[in-house]
Amino acid sequence: MSKQPKASPSFAALVQAYFAEYLTQQRALSAQTIAAYRDGFVLFLGFAESRLGKSPVTMALADITPELIMAFLDHLERQRHNSVRSRNARLAALRSFLKFAAHRDVASLQVIERALGVPVKRFERPMFGYLSREEMLAVIDTQDGTWIGQRDHVMFLLLYNTGARVSEITGVKVGEVVLDDGAACVHLHGKGRKQRSVPLWRSTVKAVRAWLRLNPQFEMASPLLPNRNGHAMTRTNVAL
């Protein structure tokens, strides 16, 4: 007797395999990257549900047309006011999933090929402005003497000293700052689990030491720059 052809996996099964197996086990991407892909998918599925009138569990690969993707990207820019860079990042997440699906559902190759034809959007990279050293020091030295003011003073010093991303600085723990004379540095954890150590200036070391004396309750695993609740600061905390 001839074998029955193997049924194509459902859209829901493909999404689950993509996040549970491919990104975490085969690609071994960082938790931050997976979270970004997940957030993009949540936005896309919510948009697709409202536009197609289908819940995510009833969707099929055939529903992911170039027209749907373009409408979603336009929605990100017009309704959610995303930048072109963010728009392209969401598209990159969708393209990654479609390329994965092409290996799991050969019968849908033509559909996937059409969807992959949606291009990224070109944009002009703006020239970055910058503060002079005197202007930067004026910003750093502006503090009101409060606990939050002293914390922000240390944060600005670390940002200026290291050139690190905001997320890298807010993620620093007390035990990751070395204040020994001649070997002072901070250990940073960047995107993609990249790690590096950056030397600290004497002025930065002095400020961090004063900050730790002000907070003797800090432990080695405590965030160096916590919010009012003692947790690591978020980007929103920094923006405010």
Boundaries of every domain in the chain:
11-115, 133-239
Bridge partners (DSSP) of residue 135 are none
* Low-confidence spans in the chain with pLDDT less than 70: 1-6, 192, 240
pLDDT digits (tens, 9 = 90+) for 144-192: 889 999 999 999 999 999 999 998 999 999 999 999 988 999 999 887 6
pTM > 0.75: yes or no: no
SS3 content of the chain, % helix, strand, coil (to 5): 60, 5, 35
CB of 219 within 8 A of CB of 211? no
Beta carbons within 8 Å of 236's beta carbon, 6+ residues apart: none
Q: Which burial class, exposed, middle or buried, applies to 60 when counting CB atoms under 10 A from its CB (0-12, 13-18, 19+)?
A: middle
Q: What percent of the chain lies above the pLDDT cut of 70?
A: 96
The CATH classification number of 11-115 equals 1.10.150.130
Half-sphere exposure of 63 (CA within 13 A, CB side): 20
Domain at 133-239, CATH homologous superfamily:
Intergrase catalytic core (1.10.443.10)
